[in-house]
């Protein structure tokens, strides 16, 4: 993913930056995507995408490290928040080979993992098909990224 710093800020009512993600948003709980919101987006923004990634996962796939928990795209510029368990946007395929959100669940005994909820501001509103992988999605989005920011939460398996 290219580095496109911006003043955009990402928040959640479910957890504060660097704090624990509640169990209800994990695969051990109800597996619901957390509510997210963002502000101070670049003026030229026409669309958004969201990626949740666990860089601490001991997996290598497609020459990258970590585990993709959520890909959400085709979000218009007017959408600056997502409700818990959102149905907005179009979902990609996560590393659990499922469409949509797959909550945190690090391997047993693996300690606390960090989960990066990235919001990408785009110069276009995308109309991409459901089920893209992270690599496929980034290939389509990279030329259109105006800015990006993230919210990082943690999760430790019970």
**Does the pLDDT value for residue 36 go beyond 80?**
yes
Q: Are 117 and 152 in contact (CB under 8 A)?
A: yes
The mean predicted confidence, pLDDT, of the chain is 93
- Residue in this structure with the two tokens 């502000």, named with its chain if needed: 39
pLDDT tens-digit map of 39-75: 999 999 999 999 999 998 876 566 567 899 999 999 9
What's the pLDDT score for residue 143?
95
pLDDT tens-digit map of 67-98: 999 999 999 999 999 999 999 999 999 999 99
pTM of the predicted model, to two decimals? 0.93
Cα-only R_g, the chain: 15
Tally DSSP H helices, then E strands, for the chain: 1, 10
Tokens of 35: 């509510």
The CATH number assigned to the domain with range 9-156 reads 3.90.280.10
Show Cβ contacts of residue 112 under 8 Å, excluding neighbours closer than 6 positions.
106, 154, 155, 156
pLDDT tens-digit map of 107-131: 888 899 999 999 999 999 999 999 9
Per-domain boundaries in the chain: 9-156
Identify the three-state secondary structure at position 3.
coil
């Amino acid at each position: 993913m290219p580095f496109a710093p911006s003043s955009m800020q990402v928040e959640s009512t479910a957890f504060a930056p660097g704090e624990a993600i509640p169990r209800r948003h994990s695969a051990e709980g109800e597996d619901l995507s957390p509510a997210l919101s963002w502000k101070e987006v670049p003026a030229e923004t026409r669309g958004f995408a969201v990626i949740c990634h666990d860089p601490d996962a001991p997996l290598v796939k497609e020459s990258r490290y970590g585990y993709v928990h959520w890909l959400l795209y085709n979000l218009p510029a007017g959408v600056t928040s997502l409700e818990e368990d959102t149905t907005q946007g179009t979902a990609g395929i996560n590393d659990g080979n499922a469409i949509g959100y797959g909550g945190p669940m690090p391997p047993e005994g693996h300690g606390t993992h960090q989960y990066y909820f990235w919001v990408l501001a785009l110069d276009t509103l995308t109309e991409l098909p459901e089920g893209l992988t992270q690599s496929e999605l980034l290939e389509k989005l990279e030329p259109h990224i105006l800015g990006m920011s993230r919210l990082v939460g943690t999760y430790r398996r019970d």
